[in-house]
Amino acid sequence: MILRRSLQLGAVVGVVAALSGCSILKTPPPVQMYRFGLPMEAPFTSTDTPAPVAVSVRRIDFPAASGDERILGVTGTEAAYIGGARWVSPAATLFDDSLKAAFAQRADRIRLLDRREPGAAPVVLQVSVTTFEARYAAPGAAPDVVVTARAQLRLTPPERGTGAGQAIQPRSVERIFTVTQPAGENRVSAIVAAFDTATRDINTQIADWTVQSAS
């Protein structure tokens, strides 16, 4: 009787150990990586004449819920991250790179200053992204990607032409940009494509508005 109990106990321990081993060795589901926005190596026309305006772009503000590698989806008042998919870098970084590339394509009209360059820039751009999400009208429906950003420009006029002791007063202008890009279907690849199109669109608008306002 005692031997039988010992055998039963040994069998139970063996099963538990086997199950624990399976749990430890279980492979997590694969995660597909994606990117969006204008590439940093975007071509631009180089000229011998320097651009008439120089702009410094401050670090972009991004919502904490959508600024990392996860892809945010929203249905009504509920929010969740899309499973099995990640951005290759934080969304805030990819958005920043895309904006820089948009300015690089306009290098004949405006020069983007490095954030580490000393001195005060005549034009300073601050972009605050307030919405960056896939928005579902109903569960399972094809979402719309919504990207909203507030752009603020601080413009300092040149010193020439000012009288002695006359202070130069900078001025500020701002504008809200919103892009809504429907995804073709409720698939990760289609949603990522909508994020890519929306980001390219909004950053192109921001760059063109900056050039126009600074000129």
Which CATH number belongs to the domain containing residue 183 in this structure?
Answer: 3.40.50.10610
Count the neighbouring beta carbons within 10 Å of the beta carbon of residue 122.
17
pLDDT at 185: 96
Mean pLDDT of 182-195: 97
Q: Are strands 85-87 and 32-34 parallel, antiparallel or unpaired?
A: parallel
Total structural domains in the chain? 1
Q: Please report whether residue 96 resides in a domain.
A: yes
d(CA 53, CA 26): 57
Range of the domain at 107: 54-158+170-214
pLDDT by residue (tens digit) across 145-181? 999 999 999 987 766 554 555 556 778 999 999 999 9
For residue 46, pLDDT beyond 70: no
For residue 205, pLDDT beyond 50: yes
Q: Please report whether residue 106 resides in a domain.
A: yes
Q: Please report whether residue 35 resides in a domain.
A: no
pLDDT band at 48 (very low <50, low <70, confident <90, very high): low
Among the residue ranges 69-73, 93-97, 171-175, the one predicted with the least confidence is 171-175
